[in-house]
Structure formats: C-alpha cells, structure tokens
Homo-oligomer: A and B are copies of this chain.
C-alpha cells in the first residue's frame, strides 16, 4: 500500500548543514572531491537502488520467507537477483580502500546511504551488509595468505560474510561457548561445534560464505579470555583463488521468527571444518569486537531506517485519511470529515516520530564522522575518535533501537486498525525492527557496556563529550533565538553528569547497582545526546529563511523535542537514584 522513498532531503540536511560533512570530507578525503553535489549524486543513486530494487521485495520477502531444504537455504524470490545487481553496480566496494579493490570513499557516506537500503528492505540487508565488519576484522588480524584468499571477494561482494558467536548455551555470555579449534600441521585448524542465530549462515546469493567463528584452542583458559577467532570458508578456496570443494560446514536448520522472515537465521554445524586463526590466540573477543562495533552502528542505522519509513507512511496516511473534525472547527469544511492530521493527538504521534527519526539520523551521522576520524590522520585524533565511538556506539545502538520501536509502534497507532493489517506494511516494520533491540547485544547488554566499561571505567570519553557540548553551548548562548534551548541542554547534560558522579561514588559499595540502573542510565544519556543533535538543528535552521518549510519544521521539532521528549529524563534520573534499592536485591517478590 506504500512505496518506500529514500529520505534524501533530510539526509543531506544532516550531513551537510548539521555536521558540515563537506568540510570534513575536504579535510579527510581531499582526493575524493566530495563536495555537496557529489555527495548528493552518490546518495541519490543509492536511494534509487533502494527504492527500485529492494523496496519491491520487502513485503513479498516477508511473506515468502527464507526456506531451508536438505541443508540448502533459498532467500525469498528476487533477493539473489537484487544482490547480483548490487555487486555489479559496485556498491559493496564503495567505502573500501582502493588498495583492496575498493572505491576509497568514506565509511560515513556508506552509512548514510545504507539507511536507505535498510529502510527499503531490512531482511535483504542481512545478507548484503555484513562484509564491512568482516573486512575490517580480517585486516586487523588475518595473515597475508588469508587476506589474499578472502579479501578481494569480500570487497567486491562476490562472497558474503557472517559472524558466528552464539551457541545454544552461550548467548549474552559468550564465555560459555564450547566450539573447539584443533591446530593442524599445515597451520590451519579444525573447527568443531554448533552455532545458532547465525544471520545468512547459508543462502543462495553468493557462491561462497566466509564465516568468522569464535572457538577455543586446546588448553585455552575458561571464559572469554580463552576464545580465539577463526576464518572458515563455506567452500575451500584453491591456490589460484578458484572455489574448491565444500568445507565441513553445514546449515542444520533456520529459525522461524517474529520478523525479518526473509533473512535466514541459521543453526550452523562445523564438523572439523578447516579454518585459520585471525589475530592472536585467546584474543578472539578483541578481534570480534571490531566486527561487533561496526555491526552495532549498523543496527542503529537499521533502527533509524525503519522509524523513517514508518513515519513517512504514517504521515501520508494522516494526510489522506479523513475521520472526525478538528477540535477548533472544520479544517476541510467541504469534505465529510477532516484529515487525521488535524487532530492534535495524531500530530503528537507524528511529531514524536519525526523527533526520533531525524534526531536519530543526526546521531548516526555524528557517530559516522567519528568512524572516519578513527581511521584518520594523527594518533591523538584517532584515539579520541575511538573513545567517542566507544561511548556513543552503545547509546546509538540501544537508545535508537528502543526509540525506533516506539516510533514504528506509533505508526501502527496512527493507522489504527489498518496498522494491524498486513497489507499496509506497518506491522511488518514493527516485527522487523523489534530485533534491533536484541541482536548485536540486547539493550541491557549495551547499557552495562556503556555504564560499566565506557563511563565508570574511564572518565575521559564522557568528559570529552561534555566538553564538546559545553563548547557548543558557549558558542550559541548569546544567540537570542537559542538561549533557551542552550540553557535546557546544559541542564540535561548536568543531570547526566550528576547521575554519573553519584553512581561512580556508590558503585564500589553496591555490586548490583550498575545492572539495576544501567538501562535507565543509557536512556537518559541517549536523550541528552539527541538533545544536543536537536539543539544543533535548531541553531542551523534558526539562521535560515523563515519561510522555508524544512527549516521551520526543524525549528518546531527541536522545540517539540525539548518540550515533550527530553523531559523524560526526569523519570530516568529518579530511577537511577532510587531504582537499585527497589529492585537490585528483590527476588522474593518474584514468586
């Protein structure tokens, strides 16, 4: 019933107006010639691919689902052909280094455009979008022979990649995994064990699949300090790069899921499969986290993408569907009823969606800038960028996935009964986006990572972020139109920092504290970060033509964010202060 449209206008606004990407690219990628027009042209082409090739397969892919038969998996009809076109058009290589056969464009540009693909067809992207993380992981640790064997085909997209972490008994707790790797005389390893929840572990989009597998070497210490990373191809690769016979890797079954039905979520068996160590022995978690962090930002992008599509569909519906009369008198007196959008409650829902979508997109682009800088020049700059990514990745992943679920859910509510019906596409979006709060680490896991590892264990990342916000506030405090938002942003930042200081003091004496309040802490942090994004949008659009609809909309939505969304931090701050006492130790209640 709806047609996906890539949100090109707001993406360009966020990249160019809000984040100054033209200057960023000029400084960091001078040879790429990425001025505003070039950026637009690349994103426009990506949007066309998303709209033309992927969106038409979204509902049909959900209905057909991935299919397993005798160890083989078929993606839904059309998925393989779209992937072939994706590869033929050179999209997988966009942000890969030219030295590896890529086009050398910035990863941030890939991330911005990836939103369009995710919004058009999240399930399809599960096959197509994992190579980046695998390439980065291999580059950081694989031996030259393995790089020669796998890199070119992963860069071109001819082969796809997976990350094989989870086992039946080892989900959030990877320390429990039991897959074994036994060294062979030829320098390879035999990998044996079963993995579950492996996205695209088997499919018919590519002739080979490169698995990155966590396993234990003989005599490895227990827990996460005894895990090593291996690269295991589905089919052997001959010396000349041609495909050989099948490796001992098989897909035992695929899962039936709430959503993302077009994506094959596989149970994989490695039965003495040949593989090679990537990076150091027992340091597999560190290697894998390169992959995981990339994927977490990818999930944040997915979340924004689904929220965007839900907002666009809800807005279109609210404009054309006529029910009831505006409270202030007929808005369309000639019609039998007014459009839904004339009702204040409907506008409330649409504005909330818009605040989430455009604020979330700005945050993803903010993170993407740090991704570029983390690979940029200068040791100091790279380290600072890595710290900011460490801080912001769990926030972006978890807070945006939580808010995206809220936004898509509101999309159903705007459509009412039709939102619950399959033909309108909204319910599929909710089923699909729901997984973003789970995979690559649940919201609870992200929250404990943020509070425990990224904040309490090292004061610098948050300090640096706070300094950045304070500097921005200082620059805008004397602008008459911005003074109020600057004051409120400062207060919000203060409440984040106060909560942090209080927790730092209490945590040593209260072992359950971090776990008990982490999710509230993460949400509070997320609302502050989004407040920073919206304040910047208000500043950027405040100086623009007062009659320009987009800029007027930005100013009003910023105001809405500060009036109606940011105040949620009050409750989270209260819960951070009182939550642990209430449920940190209660178990008796759970009978």
Contacts and interface: CB of A to CB of B under 8 A. Distances in A.
Interface of A: 166, 169-173, 175-176, 196-197, 255-259, 315, 322-324, 326-329, 336-337, 341, 343-348, 350-351, 354, 405, 409, 412-413, 416-417, 419-423, 427, 430-431, 434-435, 437-439, 442-444, 447-448, 511-516, 518-519, 549-550, 552-554, 556-557, 559-560, 563-564, 567-568, 570-571, 574-575, 578-584, 586-591
A581 to B, nearest CB: 7
A351 B516 contact: no
Contact of A571 (B421, B567, B582): B567
The listed residue with most B CB atoms (<10 A of its CB), out of A343, A409, A514, A556, is A556
Nearest to A351: B583
A413 B427 contact: no
Contact of A421 (B256, B419, B579, B587): B256
A583 B570 CA distance: 20
B571 A583 contact: no
A359 B428 CA distance: 31
A553 B412 contact: no
B257 A420 contact: yes
A438 B423 contact: no
Contacts of A554: 589
A119 B299 CA distance: 33
A344 B416 contact: no
A400 B348 CA distance: 21
B427 A257 contact: yes
A166 B347 contact: no
A189 to B, nearest CB: 24
Given A347-B586, A571-B571, A586-B351, A438 B421 contact: no
A219 to B, nearest CB: 18
Closest 4 CB pairs of A and B: A258-B427, A344-B515, A344-B516, A556-B589
A4 B453 CA distance: 40
Nearest to A519: B345
A328 B511 contact: yes
Given A171-B417, A197-B417, 10 more contacts: A173-B337, A258-B430, A341-B587, A344-B512, A405-B409, A412-B434, A413-B438, A413-B442, A431-B431, A559-B582
Given A256-B422, A574-B567, A582 B553 contact: no
B444 A413 contact: yes
Given A413-B437, A437-B413, A549-B588, A329 B511 contact: yes
Given A571-B567, A582-B560, A438 B416 contact: yes
Given A176-B323, A413-B437, A564 B549 contact: no
Contacts of A422: 255-258
